[in-house]
């Protein structure tokens, strides 16, 4: 049984449907991507999983049980809108939050010190939140989400506002939580992070789940329409190969847009007839392209 099971949940606000029959499961040691354009219903879904709002239909199960006090303790949340008290010492806030989720004061303090060491900012323990930069406040809020060792963690735009070094640091931390068996529900508009971190995803659009499954399998459903080609000498006449829709010169060689995968073989033959090839690859679509295509088509 998976730690988090969302089964056909619905949520209405008046006559507006925010989430319409969404189902997915997050396994132990899995990072699950919840994606969608603005207003698709992601935040509403996360709020239902957190027990902040109740679904109007369907159910959510935590280790097979419905939401209750025990489940509150199992959950950790990094909201997109950060909300810590600027004038209060961050250790006071975080230790308090950890206690609300069932941790003893002593354990919470020790855990917080460990996390601050881990993030190489032990001196923050006694600082007020307003004394930290925005990015560092974000790291602290991340600690607040995981300090009580929740089994299910919900991360909403976890890396926004962070510099590249801190993005790597938090990414590594998220992967470690996964490897320790945490179930992570991960929502973002940054598709490259999803490609790197998530095995399974749901793309929502206007309250409906429109694409679901393992990223590998989703990608295989979309045609490969790009060829990367490089050779020692310039290749003539690529534009005139039937099926080639566009040719772009890049630093490394050529990027060709094709309509059908078979055209790739014709490109290869054409190029080889002119000399040795250094690189030839039929690219699979990126998740970004899949997202734009899926959501974009439905917009129209």
- Tell me which residues touch ligand ATP (CB under 6 A): 13, 16, 18, 36, 38-44
Nearer to ligand ATP, 44 or 263 (CB): 44
The residues near 237 (Cβ < 8 Å, ≥ 6 apart) are 270
Q: How far is the CB of 31 from ligand ATP (least distance, A)?
A: 18
Q: How far apart are CA 179 and CA 108, in angstroms?
A: 22
Question: What is the strand order of the sheet 200-205 is part of?
Answer: 75-78, 152-156, 183-187, 30-36, 200-205, 208-214
Q: How far apart are CA 3 and CA 178, in angstroms?
A: 13
The DSSP line for 188-214 is -S-HHHHHHH-SEEEEEETTEEEEEEE
List of E strands, 122-216:
152-156, 183-187, 200-205, 208-214
Nearer to ligand ATP, 149 or 193 (CB): 193
Nearer to ligand ATP, 154 or 235 (CB): 154
Nearer to ligand ATP, 156 or 225 (CB): 156
Nearer to ligand ATP, 43 or 138 (CB): 43
Nearer to ligand ATP, 40 or 152 (CB): 40
Per the CB < 8 A criterion, the answer to whether 30 and 185 are in contact is: no
Report the SS3 class of residue 50: coil
Q: How far is the CB of 54 from ligand ATP (least distance, A)?
A: 13
Q: How far is the CB of 20 from ligand ATP (least distance, A)?
A: 10
Q: How far is the CB of 156 from ligand ATP (least distance, A)?
A: 8
Q: How far is the CB of 37 from ligand ATP (least distance, A)?
A: 7
Per the CB < 8 A criterion, the answer to whether 285 and 224 are in contact is: yes
Q: How far is the CB of 237 from ligand ATP (least distance, A)?
A: 46
Q: How far is the CB of 11 from ligand ATP (least distance, A)?
A: 8
Nearer to ligand ATP, 80 or 109 (CB): 80
DSSP 129: G
Q: How far apart are CA 25 and CA 153, in angstroms?
A: 13
Rg (CA), the chain: 23
Half-sphere exposure of 282 (CA within 13 A, CB side): 16
Q: How far is the CB of 153 from ligand ATP (least distance, A)?
A: 18
The DSSP line for 206-264 is TTEEEEEEEHHHHHHHSPP-EEEEEESSPPP-GGGSTTEEEEEE-SSSEEEEESSTTHH
Nearer to ligand ATP, 10 or 215 (CB): 10
């Amino acid at each position: 049984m998976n730690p988090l099971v969302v089964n056909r949940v619905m949520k209405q606000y008046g006559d507006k449907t925010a989430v319409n029959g969404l189902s997915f499961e997050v396994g132990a040691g899995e990072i699950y991507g919840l994606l969608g354009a603005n207003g698709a219903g992601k935040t509403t879904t996360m709020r239902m999983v957190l027990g902040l709002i109740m679904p109007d239909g369907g159910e959510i199960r935590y280790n097979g049980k419905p939401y209750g006090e025990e489940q509150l303790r199992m959950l950790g949340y990094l909201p997109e809108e950060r909300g810590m008290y600027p004038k209060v010492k961050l250790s006071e806030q975080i230790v308090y939050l950890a206690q609300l989720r069932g941790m003893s004061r002593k354990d919470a303090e020790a855990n917080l010190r460990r996390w601050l060491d881990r993030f190489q900012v032990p001196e923050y323990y006694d600082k007020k939140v307003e004394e930290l930069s925005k990015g560092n406040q974000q790291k602290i809020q991340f600690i607040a989400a995981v300090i009580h060792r929740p089994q299910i963690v919900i991360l909403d735009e976890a890396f926004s506002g962070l510099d590249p070094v801190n993005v790597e640091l938090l990414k590594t931390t998220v992967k470690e939580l996964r490897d320790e068996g945490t179930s992570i529900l991960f929502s973002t508009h940054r598709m490259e992070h999803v490609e790197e971190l998530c095995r399974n995803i749901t793309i929502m659009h206007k309250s409906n789940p429109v694409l679901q499954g393992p990223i590998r399998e989703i990608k295989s459903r979309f045609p490969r329409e790009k060829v990367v080609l490089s050779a020692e000498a310039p290749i003539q006449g690529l534009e005139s190969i039937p099926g080639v829709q566009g040719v772009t010169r890049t630093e490394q060689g050529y990027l060709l847009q094709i309509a059908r995968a078979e055209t790739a073989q014709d490109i290869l033959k054409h190029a080889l007839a002119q000399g040795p090839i250094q690189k030839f690859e039929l690219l699979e679509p990126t998740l970004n392209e899949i997202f734009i295509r899926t959501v974009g088509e439905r917009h129209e």
